[in-house]
Structure formats: C-alpha cells, structure tokens
A = this chain, B = another copy of it.
C-alpha cells in the first residue's frame, strides 16, 4: 500500500486552496485545521493511511480504537470566494520517504480537484515569545511572497522542516503557488495564542471571517487527541531539529 487514499466523495470545487494542518511545532497548524473544520462545518471526503505512520492503535475514553490517519475536508463558500481543502490529521509520516509519499499523494488529489494554491501553517520555535507573536512567511514565487508580506508577516530565514516546508517546496516544482505561515511559539504545548494569530492572518488572506471565541476549546480538544497518540510531551527533552546531524553526506 505504501500510502493509500480512500475517497468517499469527489467534490466539485471552485479554484480551491489547500490548507495544511498536521501536528508540528506548537501544534499551531493542527489547531488551525481543526478550528476551521469545526467552525466552517467542513466535510470530510478522503482518509489517508500510510505505511510510514506509527504501527499502533490508541484508545479513546469510550474504548474506541484509533489509528494514525490523515484526512481531507472541503468547504464550499457561498460568497463566491475560493473553496477550501483542509488537510488534517493526528500524525505526520515517520520517515523522510513517507513524508514525500504523503505530500505527493495529497497534492495529486488536490490538483485533480483543481487546486492551484497551497498554504502550509507551522510554528516557529523560539525560546522567548512576545504576547503578539511574529509571523514569518516563505513563498513559491515573488508575487505570492508579496501577498504574504502584505498580511503583516516577516520574511522567513532558514529551514522549514517537515510537511510545512515540503508542501510549499514540492508545490513550486509542480507550478502550484503558495506560501508557508510560521508563527512564533515556545512549541511546548498546543499553543492557542499563536493559533489565533495564524487564523487572523489566514482569515485576512482568505477574506473569511473566522470566529476565534472557541480557539481555546479547539486547542484543548487537540491536546487530548494528541496526548492519546503520545505526541504532546516535554518538548524540552527534544533535540532541536536544527541541531540534528544532517542526514545528507558527501
């Protein structure tokens, strides 16, 4: 199987934008995605299982067994704006190889549905964060970069690890445009405050009014789900990605 998508519905969408929201630093993307799904009552149309996910099941409070999974939701706008595809899940892939497979499969399907623009969300780990956190961006092209900067973001300098970076990088190679939004976060817990700023910037770009009053509840819901998957731990113990030895060798 490697990476298989089960599609329950192929929605007809209007020039849709793909928004990536898998668990990552500060879980900002993950809360953003779940919040959009909840608030917009987005509809699930695809489930993705990868052989590069963790091989276990976790139990819910009522004895339910859950596997690692990624899901795609769609939201059709009635105001004539561009529709949304929301990429949500409880895990990223465990291996570099799996990340490429996963990202490639999702892009394949999104492009089939007419998608020509992606936005990936992420946290930017800092040791100290201001109450109003900075937001950084990187884009596939100069024109899109300008649009991202117009949202009040700063120019990202450095590496964007995981799906957030891969999605924008791979999109560029497919002539799909898009940008990454990275919000300052301590990264040690599902960060509701950073999420609010990400949602605000996102809403501004999408010209979409997103109610932020339930973000804390969504962050709490995210925390519960991810704790059951063992994903929320003392981040202080984690080696910073930047310090990891490069796997590429000469």
Residue ranges of A at the interface with B (Cβ–Cβ < 8 Å): 1, 4, 6, 23-25, 47, 49-59, 62-69, 91-92, 94-101, 104, 137-142, 145, 148-149, 155-163, 165-166, 168-170, 172-174, 179-180, 187, 229-231, 233, 235, 238, 241, 246-250
Copies of this chain per assembly:
4
Q: Are B65 and A172 in contact (CB under 8 A)?
A: yes
**A103 to chain B: closest residue by CB:** B55
A179 surroundings in chain B (CB, below 8 A): 65
Q: Give complex CA distance A137, B56 in Å.
A: 15
Q: Are A169 and B57 in contact (CB under 8 A)?
A: yes
Which secondary structure characterizes the binding site on chain A? mixed
Q: Are A54 and B96 in contact (CB under 8 A)?
A: yes
Apart from A50-B100, A57-B168, A241-B249, list 9 A-B contacts with CB within 8 A: A47-B173, A51-B97, A54-B248, A55-B165, A56-B159, A63-B149, A65-B168, A65-B179, A159-B230
A165 surroundings in chain B (CB, below 8 A): 55-58, 65, 67
Q: Are A63 and B145 in contact (CB under 8 A)?
A: yes
A58 → chain B closest CB, angstroms: 6
